[in-house]
């Protein structure tokens, strides 16, 4: 586990959690090109809790629907384990249900996987900038961004739509 000064200037450290390995790979490339550091990847909520404990990320990008442990339960468990770690829930489903999922999970923000990469990156950076070590209720919350991307980024949306549903979140 890495030790670091949380007040020092550093690139945001992100844990990417999604059951699609292709999607995780695409997101990793996009985030790293933007100067963020991906400290780990996890395919489900159980793996996310282990990776988060090992790597102590500045922010977690958590898929809503995954096998074994979904994003709602994983976010709740992560906040119990590491209360100061912001979680951004994201889903390939419409933004209509994201607000409810964010509220139930106690996540700090929610994004649709169709979000423009610039909005995804900005949200992750703002989560890190607003990280205070305080519980989620006292940190600022950020909105969802329903705008769609195009070009290379469409690979992310395609990967998510091509996988079969993994059950209710």
* Domain-located, residue 4: no
CA proximity to 32, closest of 18, 47, 16: 16
3-state DSSP helix/strand/coil percent for the chain, to nearest 5? 45, 15, 40
pTM above 0.85, yes or no: no
Full domain range(s) for residue 93: 13-159
Residue 17 class from Cβ within 10 Å (0-12 exposed, 13-18 middle, 19+ buried)? buried
* Domain-located, residue 60: yes
Categorize the per-residue pLDDT at 7 as very low, low, confident or very high, splitting at 50, 70 and 90. Answer: very low
> Of 20 and 133, which is predicted with more confidence?
20
Q: What percent of the chain has pLDDT over 90?
A: 44
* Domain-located, residue 40: yes
- Tens digits of residue pLDDT in 49-65: 999 999 999 999 999 89
* Domain-located, residue 164: no
Rounded Cα distance, 159 and 110, in Å: 19
The CATH number of residue 91's host domain is 3.40.50.2300
* Domain-located, residue 1: no
* Domain-located, residue 165: no
Q: What is the number of structural domains in the chain?
A: 1
* Domain-located, residue 105: yes
* Domain-located, residue 42: yes
């Amino acid at each position: 586990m890495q030790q670091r000064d949380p007040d020092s200037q550093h690139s945001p450290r992100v844990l990417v959690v999604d059951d699609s390995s292709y999607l995780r790979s695409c997101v990793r490339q996009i985030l790293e090109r933007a100067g963020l550091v991906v400290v780990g990847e996890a395919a489900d909520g159980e793996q996310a809790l282990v990776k988060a404990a090992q790597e102590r990320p500045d922010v977690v990008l958590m898929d809503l629907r995954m096998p074994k442990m979904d994003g709602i339960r994983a976010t709740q468990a992560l906040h119990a384990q590491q209360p100061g770690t912001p979680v951004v829930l994201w889903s390939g489903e419409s933004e209509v249900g994201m607000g409810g999922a964010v509220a139930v999970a106690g996540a700090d923000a929610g994004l649709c996987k169709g979000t423009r990469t610039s909005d995804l990156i900005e949200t992750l950076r703002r989560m890190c900038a607003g990280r205070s070590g305080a519980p989620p209720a006292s940190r600022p919350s950020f909105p969802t961004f329903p705008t769609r991307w195009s070009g290379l980024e469409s690979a992310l949306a395609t990967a998510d739509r091509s996988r079969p549903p993994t059950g209710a979140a």
